Amino acid sequence: MMELPTMESVSVFLEAMAIAFWLVIGLAALAVAVLFILDRTQTSDAIRRNYPVLGRFRGLFSSLGEFFRQYFFAMDREELPFNRAQREWVKHAGKGKSSTLPFGSTRNISVVGTPLFVPSTFPPLDDQFASAEPMMIGPHCDTPYMAGSFFNLSGMSYGAISKPAVTALSHGCKAAGCWMNTGEGGLSPYHLEGGCDVVFQIGTAKYGVRDAEGNLDEGKLAEMAAKPQVRMFELKLAQGAKPGKGGILPAAKITEEIAGIRGLPRGVDGISPNRHREAGNVEELLDLIARIRRVTGKPVGIKTVMGDPQVFEDLFAAVNARGVDSAPDFITLDGGEGGTGAAPMPLMDLVGMSVREALPILADARARAGLKDRVRIVASGKLVNPGDVAWALAAGADFVTSARGFMFALGCIQALKCHKNTCPTGITTHNPRFQEGLDVSDKTVRVTNYAKAIRKEVEVIAHSVGVSEPRRMRRQHVRLVQPDGSSLPMDQLFPVT
């Protein structure tokens, strides 16, 4: 039989517990006293100085507020920059699940600018549907590019995102038949690992193709062009989150390998110039495009954000004066609402025209110049769901690219820590501890599924409005909600002139 404790042993135990209790109370009181003295004597925080110890809870609750809003208080359509409904669609698509939902839409369709697609009374029959055909880019180049997918991966540099993230994207894009844009950080082995088509982005710092002074090195440029997977070159003039300012890679995210790929010193932030020194006007820009195309023999385009539309009119006029072979082979138009891991708030919030307004303007300028079959338009900027992509194609884009949509497919939870080295999903960090959570094989499948689901759902929208494939959608197939709650056809709001 089990021996019962004696009164003496119970007394000893209770005495020990009492001592431990008062010891904990004493240590807690000492800690509070120390914090009280520290808070009362410091001068950097008025709240903590006036309310010692208690004032610390304000900072704690402020940091936790973002978490509680996202998971407990925000409705499905409320969050910014992307709401839960948008993220959940990508999550389901990445897992290969059905997009079918019950009981009706939760979207508020009275919001000004909401696109409403116009269903056809007599849509094509099932056997009359077709997928989008491949489209040629750069017909005047030595090596044109026949792009197979209208939906592709936008620029995300190795450095801004991690090795396993780049690797999964490379394999996923290959399986989905998409191109992958390197971002301005240069070409890493991980971009090439999956075997997908690659668009090499040349930023203002010219990472990967620069000499010691930061000028364009034609020898290194030729080396990049010699790689069969590198199909096009994109000259980045601006991106949506920070038009007028170069890219920023915090020093904490610059590893020895990244520094070698970019040609950067360790321990300092990688800050790109705000523009290319060689291109101070449209004539110099066309000269730089011609130089890159001469060295590479491959299509060369530009990425920018619309400010004054007259710049594009001037660009196309200069092209027609020189000859159509001088044109950029494509223009990637990012919206002022575009995303990045690190950007000053005033530029992110206030500078640059939204792609929703800018895309029809650019498409019309191209049409007036007679360059529709010469210059391809690639739309970018918060276009992550099928409706966004379908709208862009109807507005005049030939292709659509997304970065954050693919980040959601990788498992991004919008923790808003991209500019730090503490991303909890391992996507935008180089901390091995966090990278371990990103399984390349699993995320490869999700990236593939996401890209394929976008194309499939856009085709569904195209068929519903009465055309056989997505690029046949036109502005008359979309109505935009107006301030009074009514909607007008997009071709009335943005008539092609």
Residue range 167-208, pLDDT digits in tens:
999 999 999 999 999 998 899 999 999 999 999 999 998 999
pLDDT of residue 267: 75
Confidence at 71, pLDDT banded by 50, 70, 90 = low
pLDDT of residue 342: 61
Mean pLDDT of the 435-450 span: 88
Convert the pLDDT of each residue in 364-388 to its tens digit: 999 999 999 999 999 998 898 999 9
Question: Who wins on pLDDT, 258 or 402?
Answer: 402
pLDDT at 74 over 60: no
pLDDT of residue 289: 97
Q: Mean of the pLDDT values across residues 477-483? A: 94
pLDDT tens digits along 319-374: 999 999 999 999 999 987 766 656 666 666 667 788 999 999 999 999 999 999 99
Give the phi and the psi of residue 331 in degrees, each rounded to 5: -125, 120
pLDDT of residue 43: 78
Query: Chain-wide mean pLDDT for the chain?
Result: 85
| HEC secondary structure over 135-203 | EEECCCCCCCEEECCCEEECCCCECCECHHHHHHHHHHHHHHCCEEECCCCCCCHHHHHCCCEEEEEEC
DSSP letter, residue 95 = T
Where does residue 474 rank: exposed (0-12), middle (13-18), buried (19+ CB within 10 A)?
middle
**75: pLDDT confidence band, cut at 50, 70 and 90?**
low
Residue 94 has pLDDT above 80, yes or no: no
Query: Among 22-26, 204-208, 259-263, which is the least confidently predicted range?
Result: 259-263
**Percent of all residues in the chain with a pLDDT value above 70, rounded to a whole number:** 85
Cα gap 388→383, rounded to integer Å: 5
User: Which pLDDT value is given to residue 391?
Assistant: 96
State percent of the chain over pLDDT 90.
47
